[in-house]
Structure 1
């Protein structure tokens, strides 16, 4: 089953310094019929304007993955970590018993765009973990790049929950096929460009819930950049 979610039907938030498209109920968007997809609790497509960002704030009992689309994000946290990441890089936190952090766009002229992904953890009150990984463009060019997985998976970044996150930048006309294991489901995000996914067209900003399918067949209708989260079927 394929459920296309048009970007026009998502909730838009504009705080001046921050513009967000919420895929699920979050902050001022309250919708108890759209709380999650499996263990995927939050997916925000954020644009952080220059010289602004998220001041120090706490999290606990959530696995948080951020994928940088454009610009640069500077992270600081209560564990002493501080770094700046750019396009295609990934940061993650298993907040566990609690961590305080900030995320900033320190550029004076360039917007920061990132996907903020919150995954429900399999257990609570684990020791907080922060980490990141820098990826080269060729690692995701015309192929699937497994950026996040469970502790026993093959992703470059390991979290506690049983999920896989894949990204790709696919040239116009190229095709990729992903086999979906039994009792697994996917949430697909068209970050840039347009793709045909199992005969359904997705344009910039659109998303799709995919369940009870055996194969994911993706063709780039123009140069396409996408991400999907593979998880146990709810």
Structure 2
């Protein structure tokens, strides 16, 4: 059965000049006392940052963090010595492990992005950072992230895949099936229909029992698809991803 996560469930830890909508994927189950994560998929921070914002150097421990920018440019600097602009088509994955420090700032315009937090399989793994250039406005699914033994361009230390697609209004997309994994589909922008449901901006949908039916874009839509091992072993000690 399809289950929807509506916007009324989200938190807003910051509102201005950094606006963050904090999506806790486990809220889709609407069960008191349940973990806020969806397996090892812990947090999706949907952020809008204004010109001039600087988030000072700060530490993450035991977080796997994908930075996915849809609009604008944020400038990254970290304790590994890397400095890079992160923009649409430029992915960054921080494997924080035992300790990783970074900062970011917005020099011009505004930035809209997702920071996606995944719980690693164990604590205090070796820290590191990865970058990948990808197409920007593809209508087919693009695999961005996968486990260490996968062919994905970026790797997390966990049994999770992350894909994106940018469907035009009226287009229908099939949802890829990953054996043994459970889908969680997030609408970053736009609106879709799936089965009898409408899913809009900052909403999500899952099905714990059946493969997803195709989705149809009502408007031009950016979709982020997670395929998650709900029974994966994981660290609960992440700075953001933990409990």
Per the normalisation by structure 1, the TM-score is 0.89
- What do the CA deviations read for 1:43-102 (whole angstroms, capped 9, x no partner)? 110111111032100011111111101111111011101000112431101101101110
1:148 and 2:149 matched: no
Counterparts of 1:19 and 1:33, CA distance in 2? 26
- The residue correspondences of 1:12-23 to structure 2 (distance < 5 A) are 12-23=12-23
Shift of 1:147: 0.5
Q: What count of residue pairs does the alignment treat as equivalent?
A: 225
- The residue correspondences of 1:99-118 to structure 2 (distance < 5 A) are 99-107=100-108, 110-118=109-117
User: 1:44 matched to which residue of 2?
Assistant: 45
Per the normalisation by structure 2, the TM-score is 0.86
Shift of 1:219: 1.0
1:158 and 2:155 matched: yes
Shift of 1:231: 1.0
Shift of 1:149: 0.6
Counterparts of 2:7 and 2:140, CA distance in 1? 25
Unaligned runs of 5+ in 2: 26-31, 232-243
Counterparts of 1:217 and 1:135, CA distance in 2? 24
User: 2:71 matched to which residue of 1?
Assistant: 70
Shift of 1:33: 4.1
Counterparts of 2:207 and 2:40, CA distance in 1? 14
Unaligned runs of 5+ in 1: 26-30
User: 1:232 matched to which residue of 2?
Assistant: 229
SS in 2 for 1:97: coil
Higher alpha-carbon deviation: 204-213 or 73-82: 204-213
Runs of 4+ that moved beyond 6 A = none
Shift of 1:182: 4.4
